[in-house]
Structure 1
Amino acid sequence: MLGKLYFIGAGPGDPELITVKGKRIISEADVIIYAGSLVNPEVLNCRKNGAVVYNSAEMNLDEVLKVELEALNKGLEVARVHTGDPAIYGAIQEQMDGLRAAGINEEQFEVIPGVSSFLATAAALKQEYTLPSISQTVIITRMEGRTPVPPKEKLASLAAHQATMCIFLSVQAIDKVMSTLKEGGYPGDTPVAIVSRASWPDQRIFRGTIDTIADILHKAGVVRQAMIVVGKVLDTDYELSKLYDSKFTTMFRKGTED
């Protein structure tokens, strides 16, 4: 019997924000490898008796792949649990390619999407990222750190669009992030919101502008696990959606005459 591995997006923190399918797989898995530095361990509470659990925060890629391959070759079911949605800064591509290189076929692994922290941040802010006449584009990015950023994706270059921007993994360099955004074209009074540990019980929200948010954050002592949101959508007037405009005709509804 062939084993199967599931890459699961466990959500941003709240254990109820994992998908129904993701929770079911964890409850059935023989082996669970979870990203212990970020994943809420409560999402593992549904695991069955006898399930073997590994914390990948204490493992390197070779060690993770070794556990995955041994389990698959024994015909076991594996839950590889990542935070948020694993397609964004999830480091699953190298695992999937490693499985392929080891001869594991495509039918033996599957990705189950999850709720990303940038979406949990929008929920915490009670904010829509795409408002008519203000922004119809959301840029998901990060500040360059130990992981390099391609030259055309430098923060200053992206800032020129003045779209809604969700910046991951960068709060520890908040001063540099804000100065770079301003250098790239955002006015200093552009609204900024930062959500620390979105959806966790200790979630905190900070609001300011490009010119003021760094000082606010320093006083709060936030240096990790926070999403930076920048853009006019956070504080501006906007046009109402055409979708529900009484004068606008859709394939489901005829608009009214003036």
Structure 2
Amino acid sequence: MLNKIHFVGAGPGDKELITLKGYKLLSNADVVIYAGSLVNPELLEYCKEGCEIHNSAHMDLHQIIEVMEKGVREGKSVVRLQTGDFSIYGSIREQVEELFKLDIDYDCTPGVSSFLGAASALGVEYTVPEISQSVVITRMEGRTPVPEKESIESFAKHQTSMAIFLSVQDIEKVVERLHEGGYPMDTPIAVVYKATWSDEKIVKGTLQDIAKKVKENDIRKTALILVGQFLGKEYNNSKLYDKDFKHEYRQ
């Protein structure tokens, strides 16, 4: 039986935020294909001497699959190292479909997504009792379209917590559409550039002034936009640790 392809989530940036299982797979790999435009290259320090390393930023899908197939047919351990967690904008499906055609199996080791790294950088939680109990993860259309029913405006109607990927280059348009959808202009918003990296940058504001601040900080890519009242000053304690709240473990 052929070896499996190991898809590994690299985490949001900080090389220590890869999972232990991901680290073990990476350190034992004979072949690593990593997303060089997004993955912190410091993670490659975990690779063993002699590991064959490919930067997929310079490759198309056919070339990536060729390297995978060659590696498994030679009995090598092949790791596909993808940024954050590959389940969010990871382009894993198209790779898996090609592996199916070649009868090559695979497994997946999840990673810490950048939207989680960004929340940690800010020291916030997306779900605040009675303020927001849902998180919308989305992006604005660009060269890759977005289904019409999933527009920024349609999600903004809920005024819940939002994490917007791949859109900071159009921050003015994002703000306009968030407001059109229902968020007031005084809604708190934060832009986190390269969350958990050594050159991380955080810009906070409201819909009224965030675009100006982002431009002043010259942030044009590799940043998340977080918006919602979870970033504000208002909060409520959870019931979980309320002394008068009884549950299975505390009577």
1:186-205 equivalences in 2 (<5 Å): 186-205=183-202
CA contact (8 A) 1:39 1:82 kept: yes
Matching residue of 1:14: 14
Deviation by residue 1:167-201 (Cα, 9 ceiling, x = unmatched): 00000000000000000110000000111110011
Secondary structure of the 2:240 match is helix
The yes-or-no answer on 1:243 pairing with 2:240 is: yes
> Any unmatched runs of 5+ in structure 1?
none
CA contact (8 A) 1:124 1:199 kept: yes
CA contact (8 A) 1:12 1:199 kept: yes
The yes-or-no answer on 1:27 pairing with 2:24 is: no
Matching residue of 1:71: 71
**Matches of 1:238 and 1:175, distance apart in 2:** 28
Matching residue of 1:146: 143
The yes-or-no answer on 1:169 pairing with 2:141 is: no
Match of 1:184, as an amino acid? G
1:1-258 equivalences in 2 (<5 Å): 2-104=2-104, 108-254=105-251
CA contact (8 A) 1:4 1:75 kept: no
Q: Normalising by structure 2, what TM-score?
A: 0.98
Match of 2:178, as an amino acid? L
User: Offset at 1:253?
Assistant: 0.3
**Matches of 1:123 and 1:149, distance apart in 2:** 28
Moved runs in structure 1, 4+ residues, more than 2 A? none
Superposed CA RMSD: 0.8
**Matches of 1:222 and 1:192, distance apart in 2:** 15
> Any unmatched runs of 5+ in structure 2?
none
**Matches of 2:51 and 2:169, distance apart in 1:** 36
**Matches of 1:84 and 1:216, distance apart in 2:** 26
User: Offset at 1:249?
Assistant: 0.7
**Matches of 1:237 and 1:39, distance apart in 2:** 36
CA contact (8 A) 1:138 1:163 kept: yes
